[in-house]
Structure 1
Amino acid sequence: MKMDERHLIQLAAVVQAGGVTEGANLLGLTQPAVSRTLAMLEKRLGEPLFVKGRRPLQPTPLGRALADHGQAMLTATRKASLLVDGFRHGRTGVVRVGGTPFFMDVLISGMIAEFQDATPDVRIEQSYGYLPDLLAAINADRIDLAICPIDVLDEGSGMRFQELLPGRNVVACRVTHPLLLRRKLDPAELLDFPWIAPPPGSPLFADLHSLVLSLGATEAKIRYSGGSLVSAVNYMKASDALTILPHSVVFAYRNDKSITALPVNIPHPERALGLLRREEEIRAPAVEAFCAHIRKSFEDLKHLIKRHEQAVIWSL
């Protein structure tokens, strides 16, 4: 015998609420409509669903068994409704985000945690890459967005870039580096010390080469290369090696009091950190909520980073 799922759901609501009127209210239906459904169901089954004369209503063994099935359907329906509501408001779903390693590790990862504290049912899938790889991943629909530094976005790329933070590079070192004792630092003195090379493919790698050329040399004394941000910082803390980093990354380590920036201006390209997405796409609410959170987090950070930068007297 084929059963109508709606009838079982109404039966479950009545059993759960203990009365027809209460069950109807639970479902947003009228009492007469639910009464007709129960009468129709009993007539079709040829068996009573409730024990006569009992208040609150007491289901018969058959009524209880059928109500259990209806309750499972009612629970699933409610979960589906909550899922749809959560999806529409960006509280459920999946966000696939890619980004450059240094920024993702030291800045974005904490922002992701804060976002998920407020929206625990949104799953974040994070990956690493530099601009060419990130563009390919967006175009292949492997990620929804990227957080990365960009100099210029080619026209006709089909991408939209929203700036989060203007770019500024600094020469980073440990807080006890001998160059910090100089009253007037000569930029050429940077070449007297060993360097940590940024990862190949990183924009910072090209920036280091430009810095060396601006100092009148063709190459720096590279002592360590290929490491992650954590390994580079740990290496700096234990040596007099220098490296080039975005100022925002050095800012993120301010409370650690292990690395700092040398007070020297260095050349750096016009580059900004931002959100990279396709111009034309169906916007998933969870992705929109995540992007709004990242924008707000950087807006809150901007003035703190600026104050930190101004605390260093940059030599001209």
Structure 2
Amino acid sequence: MLIDPRHLIQLHMIVELGSFISAAERLGLTQPGLSRNIRLLESRIGVRLLIRGKHGAVPTDEGKTLAAYGRRLFELSQQAATTGAAVHRGEVGELRLGAAFSLANGLIAEPVSRFLAARPKTSLRVLPGPTPRLLEELDAGQLDLVVGGTQMLPEEHGLRFEALVDNDLVAVGRADHPLAKLEQDAPVAQLREYRWVACLEQDPLRRDVEAGMASLGLTQDCVALETASLTLVTDVLARTDFLTLIPSPLANALTASGRFARVQAASSYTLRPIGVAYRVNAYIPPIATAFIKVLRGWAQENRTSLAALRDD
């Protein structure tokens, strides 16, 4: 014997409100339609569930028992509706995010923190790696989004890249670094007097860093430390007169802390814009769409901050 769970919920509502009329209004049904459903339920069960009288509907003992199940179903349906709405808004679930090495090492800390703070029922799994490999994993459905440079797979893979922030290599040192006080570009001879920190050779950014250093007239023997740890980079910079070349959005985040400062140099090295890649011919979960919106807001703020720095 199968019982329609909606009929149990309707029975609960009648018992809760004590009236077919009130229950029909609450459920968005007509009174005749609601009466028909209860008669069908009574026919399926084979017992009387409600006694209709001048003062409304009174449940029998059997009606009270089944109405209790209806109440549980109603509460579950309300919880499911609330959860469903939260899922639709991207407030529930896990996001699998691929991030290029340098980005995973600190650049996306602000949007990630903002996203998680506003959505306590979500979680992020950030997987660092070279952008080409991450894009392959995105294409295979192993990731939901990839944040990185504009290295893309061929069009037939159906990936789309949305550029968010322009990107240059910027020289950075501690806030009171001698070269940070200069109001003009630091001469090459002075840049060579200091030791530098660089990312590892396995990081795709390393080739750009080497090219950027070459554009400043620096050679590889200036590099004193190679690391994939942004924490180590910042700790070393804070304790020494070492310098580093890092993407401008990351430099902006570091200088905003007040612990570090940009060093003006005669040459700038333009990198690929930073953006987010996602699949266009496949399902994009709401949590991914919500994170993209947070990234867009963060990018707009970053562009505004960079413009202000340039104006200064």
User: Shorter-chain-normalised TM-score: which range?
Assistant: 0.7 to 0.9
1:33 is matched with 33
Q: Residues 283 and 227 (structure 1 numbering): CA distance in 2 closer, same or farther, change over 3 Å?
A: closer
- Show CA shifts across 1:29-64 (max 9, x none): 111222233234335544332466595644333222
1:8 is matched with 8
Deviation at 1:154, TM superposition (A): 5.6
Deviation at 1:169, TM superposition (A): 0.9
Moved more, 263-272 or 240-249: 263-272
2:140 is matched with 140
SS in 1 for 2:155: coil
2:257 is matched with 256
SS in 2 for 1:253: helix
Partners of 1:94 and 1:287 within 8 A in 2: no
Please, what TM-score do these two structures have when normalized by structure 1? 0.84
Deviation at 1:166, TM superposition (A): 0.8
Partners of 1:42 and 1:48 within 8 A in 2: yes
2:172 is matched with 172
Q: Residues 180 and 284 (structure 1 numbering): CA distance in 2 closer, same or farther, change over 3 Å?
A: closer
Deviation at 1:181, TM superposition (A): 4.7
Partners of 1:115 and 1:293 within 8 A in 2: yes
1:201 is matched with 202
1:23 is matched with 23
CA distance in 2, matches of 1:140, 1:155: 14
Gaps of 5+ in 2: none
Identity of aligned residues (%): 26
Please, what TM-score do these two structures have when normalized by structure 2? 0.85
Moved more, 129-138 or 280-289: 280-289
Deviation at 1:90, TM superposition (A): 4.4
CA distance in 2, matches of 1:212, 1:37: 78
SS in 1 for 2:304: helix
CA distance in 1, matches of 2:198, 2:47: 81
1:149 is matched with 149
Matches within 5 A, 1:8-157: 8-50=8-50, 55=55, 57-104=57-104, 106-150=106-150, 153=152, 155-156=154-155
Name the structure with the higher strand share: 2
Q: Residues 51 and 265 (structure 1 numbering): CA distance in 2 closer, same or farther, change over 3 Å?
A: farther
Deviation at 1:83, TM superposition (A): 4.3
Q: Residues 47 and 245 (structure 1 numbering): CA distance in 2 closer, same or farther, change over 3 Å?
A: same
1:128 alignment partner AA:
P
CA distance in 2, matches of 1:106, 1:242: 18
CA distance in 2, matches of 1:206, 1:171: 16
Partners of 2:101 and 2:129 within 8 A in 1: yes
- Show CA shifts across 1:205-242 (max 9, x none): 21232234335554133332224112211111011111
2:129 alignment partner AA:
G
Partners of 2:208 and 2:271 within 8 A in 1: no
Aligned residue-pair number: 310
1:23 alignment partner AA:
A
CA distance in 2, matches of 1:104, 1:163: 17
Moved more, 194-203 or 214-223: 214-223
2:259 alignment partner AA:
S
1:228 is matched with 229
Partners of 1:195 and 1:220 within 8 A in 2: no
1:314 is matched with none
2:244 is matched with 243
CA distance in 2, matches of 1:58, 1:116: 49
CA distance in 2, matches of 1:183, 1:89: 48
